[in-house]
Structure 1
Amino acid sequence: MASLLSLSTVVSHRILSLHPPPLNRSLLFVKPKLPFSRTVSRDLRMRLHSQTTNYGDKEHKPSSIDSKLNPLEGAGTKNLEKVVATILILAQVWSPLPLFGLDSAYISPAEAVLYSPDTKVPRSGELALRRAIPANPNMKTIQACHSTRLFTFWIPQRKPYGTMESNVKKALKVAIDDKDSILASIPADLRDKGSELYASLVDGKGGLQALIESIRYQDPDKVSIRLASSLDTVAEMELLQASGLSFLLPQQYLNYPRLAGRGTVEITIEKADGSTFQAESGGDQRKSATIQVVIDGYSAPLTAGNFAKLVTSGAYDGAKLNTVNQAVITEDGSGKVESVSVPLEVMPSGQFEPLYRTPLSVQDGELPVLPLSVYGAVAMAHSENSEEYSSPYQFFFYLYDKRNSGLGGLSFDEGQFSVFGYTTAGRDILGQIKTGDIIKSAKLIEGQDRLILPAQNNSSST
């Protein structure tokens, strides 16, 4: 019988090589005459490009394990390995506790991040956007306490009200003790608004004091409402504190358009075949529907800025949409408008400025502030010439599906594209879009004052 170390090594390598079987990944982001290309068959990452490429129809298969890693021989032993691997996978997925020290003893931190991404990667656009605001450290502490409460509140078993109350008290103490520091972080012309929000956060109907009272009475409805209200207030205060970019752009990128903050884009989509959109709540059917996207210049100033510039110039008005597995992408607009190819721009979690022309390696523990693994994430396609640059025009809505992701619930392309925003209204519309539908109009309804357009934009592209 092999040692536990040998067996656990085999199991960990098997786990990393697995990918979910429900959908044929050879069809993922693949459609004739669409701007995509694909890497070698052993590479699990998809590639989205602004170019036309032909594809085969071969099914992707998991990579095999090097025989040198497996000292065990014989059919019986191989069956035992499969059973043990299955047990460990299920136990790790369903249990928050370590498996007798196996994950700490034999699984590296780079691999461990794939096991529990739910604690590291936000699963909604709203949460991702809140986390991305470069606010006062004290407000970030309050926000972290809120996130912990939000996670524990949705546990389907009995609510851990004692832990929740402790977290709220911690947030309240930070808010009271550091009031001067919190308000001092808000620009002088916004200080009055900040004071109103602060008072609401501490003593308002949806504030921390009221939330503590709801927790003590163990009223889940009031806890839910007041928790959401206090989260919104925290986000509003953080946005007041973040009056611009918290870092300096590299000198070579100063001649690109950039967005120094947040913006909101309203996109109206029209059915091309005479069919209608169905409202999520069962409302009237419509030939056109509106989607709102919040674009984030705090984490992707160049990508969001270039997109906002294209929107304001009417570049997407009348653009056709194409649907592929897990994405809705715009047609290739080369030549339609003057545009630039922006370098790949990804802000790593825990860092203060984006990386340029460098994708992240999730297996090495790198996670983006704006993850792709969120339904309704908005990102730029890759340039047809280089994956180090984004397309000058094509963007796509990512229809994240956990069934089509890796073992840790992350997209196989996490960290590979410039994500610059999220669909915050009209997410139900995304799944109803069909190839041939048209963007009737795209408008920048908020954030025009944060869009910076240099006198001469860099017109070079790779």
Structure 2
Amino acid sequence: MQISKSSALGQWRTNFQRNTAFKPRASRSSMNDRTVSSPATAHEKTGSLDGVLNFVKVLAASAVLLSGSSPALAVLNSPNAQIARSVDAALRRSIPAFNPDVKSIQKNLEDVQYFLRIPQRKPWGSMATNIADSLALCQLRDRMLAGVPPTSLPGAESLLNSLTASLRKLELAVKTQQPDAVSVRVADALRTVADLELLQAPALPFLIPKEYQALPRLVGRAQVELTLEKRDGSLGFVDPVVGGPAKRTTLVLTLDGYSAPLSAGNFMKNVLEGLYDNRPIQVNYTSVFVQAPTIQERPPIPLEILPSGTNQHT
């Protein structure tokens, strides 16, 4: 990880392109075939059979438009889309690691999580197959450790051993059909996969536009601690260790420089400069707002978007 600092001002610009709204409608030819009149008049002119045929034509035209919709719309309209449903999944999928064997294990384990959400008749056989395939890949140690820098090999080997042990426990939980144990152990295995991928990840897989080269950036991941306490000094929190009331609590925030290197770098720079120290926090149901002191003019930060399923930044 690295943070580069500069006081140069950047210009506001975003590469975000607004998507057009999708409104299914019939094609021109099918609209011409439709009869716009009262039901009685339509029945007199075309008969009930023609009305059914017209309905089928309109339905078919709408289906053609839907099938030709963009991938983003298809994901939003699909109830089976395996989008990131947790913070851990989103962080894991943003890691730009290119080891196909590790990615295959990640996909197998995420499929196990997906199968586990099926309410009835869970596909235990499919889960067992995915785990067996993952265990077989773990035996190919040279391939699994490909892409790890030499200085990080000892840590990567330890992670690979831990992953194999986690998969063995997961295999037993699936064999005995224990959903709760499977849920816990597949999450543990996926965390180990993410740690291994972080060691295999190179620098950013995309280039920062030259107009933003002077802005601070975070290449990789960082964690910062945020300590909170009530303004009136009351015991408004719960101690995570002893379980009793506490005056303050500490949150650990993960800054993801792979998804948004400029936003994460700017946040890290503000933390290092103490801009958030002793600042009041305004919280509602949708956001958390902190007003930084207006000591000096700050350079604007562009909107950064990492499309799901890719490592191409926009």
The TM-score bracket by the shorter chain reads 0.7 to 0.9
Give TM-score, length-normalised by structure 1: 0.51
Corresponding residue SS for 1:255? coil
The counterpart of 1:164, out of the listed 118, 124, 127, is 127
Q: Give the one of 175, 191, 195 matched to 2:157.
A: 195
Query: Which has the larger strand fraction?
Result: 1
Secondary structure of residue in 2 paired with 1:298: coil
- 2:303 pairs with 1:344: yes
Q: Give the C-alpha shift of residue 201 in structure 1.
A: 1.7
Q: Distance in 2 between matches of 1:121 and 1:146?
A: 14
Match in the other structure for 1:95 = none
- Whether the 8 Å CA contact 1:299–1:353 is kept in 2: the answer is no
Cα deviation for residue 119 of structure 1 reads 2.6
Matched, 1:299 2:259: yes
Query: CA 1:65 to 1:231, structure 2 compared with 1: closer, same or farther past 3 Å?
Result: closer
Structure 2 counterparts to residues 272-351 of structure 1, below 5 A: 272-279=231-238, 283-331=243-291, 333=292, 335-337=294-296, 339-351=298-310
Alignment of 1:88-107 (within 5 A): 105-107=64-66
Tell me whether 228-237 or 112-121 shows the greater mean CA deviation.
Answer: 112-121
Which secondary structure state, in structure 2, belongs to the residue aligned with residue 348 of structure 1?
coil
Do structure 1's residue 251 and structure 2's residue 210 form an aligned pair? yes
Shift of 1:260: 0.8
User: Which has more helix, going by share of residues?
Assistant: 2
Any gaps of 5 or more consecutive residues in structure 1?
A: 1-42, 44-63, 77-99, 356-462
Residue aligned with 1:248, SS? coil
- Letter matched to residue 206 of structure 2: F
Corresponding letter in the other structure for 2:74: A
Partner residue of 1:119 out of 69, 81, 105: 81
Distance 1:323 1:219, change over 3 A: closer
AA aligned opposite 2:136: K
Residues 237, 249 of structure 2: 8 Å contact kept: no
Seen in structure 2, the aligned counterparts of structure 1 residues 291 and 73 have a Cα distance that, compared at 3 Å, is: farther
Asked if 1:237 is matched to 2:205, the reply is no
Q: Could you give the per-residue CA deviations for residues 213-263 of structure 1, whole angstroms, max 9, x where no partner exists?
A: 332222334323322221121111111112532333233322111111001
Following superposition, the deviation at residue 113 of structure 1 comes to 2.3
Quick one: percent identity of the two aligned structures?
Answer: 38
The change in CA–CA distance for 1:101 and 1:171 in structure 2 (over 3 A counts) is: farther
Residue 289 to residue 200, structure 1, CA distance change in 2 (3 Å): closer
Q: Structure 1: how far apart are the matches of 2:247 and 2:150?
A: 47
How far, CA to CA, are the matches of 2:61 and 2:115 in structure 1? 26
Query: CA RMSD for the aligned pairs?
Result: 3.6
Q: Is the 8 A contact 1:315 1:337 kept in 2?
A: no
Q: Check conservation: 2:96, 2:202, Cα contact below 8 A.
A: no
Task: State how far apart, in whole Å, the 1-side matches of 2:96 and 2:142 are.
Answer: 18
**How far does residue 329 in structure 1 lie from its aligned partner after superposition?**
1.4
- Cα drift, residue 349 of structure 1: 2.3
Write the letter of the residue equivalent to 1:199: N
CA contact (8 A) 2:75 2:81 kept: no
- In the superposition, the TM-score normalised over structure 2's length comes to 0.73
Alignment gaps of 5+ in structure 2: 1-17, 41-58
2:206 and 2:313 in contact (8 A); partners too: no
How far 1:191 moved relative to its partner? 0.5
Aligned pairs, number: 268
The structure with the larger Rg is 2
**Counterpart residue identity of residue 270, structure 1:** E
Q: Which moved more, 1:233-242 or 1:243-252?
A: 243-252
5 Å matches for 1:40-439?
Answer: 105-108=64-67, 109-110=69-70, 111-116=73-78, 119-135=81-97, 136-177=99-140, 179-202=141-164, 204=165, 206=166, 208-279=167-238, 283-331=243-291, 333=292, 335-337=294-296, 339-355=298-314
Distance 2:279 2:262 in 1: 22
1 CA distance for matches of 2:254 and 2:61?
Answer: 42
Question: Which deviations, in whole Å up to 9, do the C-alpha atoms of 1:134-169 show, x marking residues without a partner?
Answer: 112321121111111011113232321111111112
Kindly provide the amino acid, as one letter, of the partner of residue 172 in structure 1: L
Q: Which residue of 1 aligns with 2:49?
A: none
- Cα pair distance change 1:181/1:72, threshold 3 Å: farther
Do the aligned partners of residues 201 and 323 (structure 1) sit closer, same or farther apart at CA in structure 2, a change above 3 Å counting?
closer
1:309 Cα deviation after fit: 0.5
